[in-house]
Amino acid sequence: MKKVMFGRLAGIEFSATPPAFVGSALLWLVLSILGSVFLTLTPLQAILGGFLALILHWSGEIFHQLGHAWAARRTGYPMTGIPGWVLLASWPWPYTRVTNQIYRRKSIFAGHWADRPPV
């Protein structure tokens, strides 16, 4: 499936597939309807509020994936990109080179606090 490229930031490529745009449009529509019905917003307020909620959704997803990228870089297996899918994003990561157990152990215990004994 063809990807739409948004650019690179800190060595991470941001992209999205066409279903991400369809899913985003549907989420915007649903959030606008919910705002209009349950929050008794005017149509313009509901549309703008739905769009702001959509931006908040994708911002949260991107920051979440950037956390994965930060942890993966610290383990020595950096991510190459963050492709957006239907309503979420994924993180391409070399599963063949390292197991999830190693990734979690290294990312959890890779901070200065890991040197201290557990309380």
Across the range 76-81, mean pLDDT stands at 82
Global pTM? 0.71
What per-residue confidence (pLDDT) applies to 19?
A: 87
* CA neighbor of 51 nearest in space, from 63, 33, 37: 33
Residue 73 scores a pLDDT above 70: yes
- Cα 107-3-59 angle, rounded to 5 deg: 50
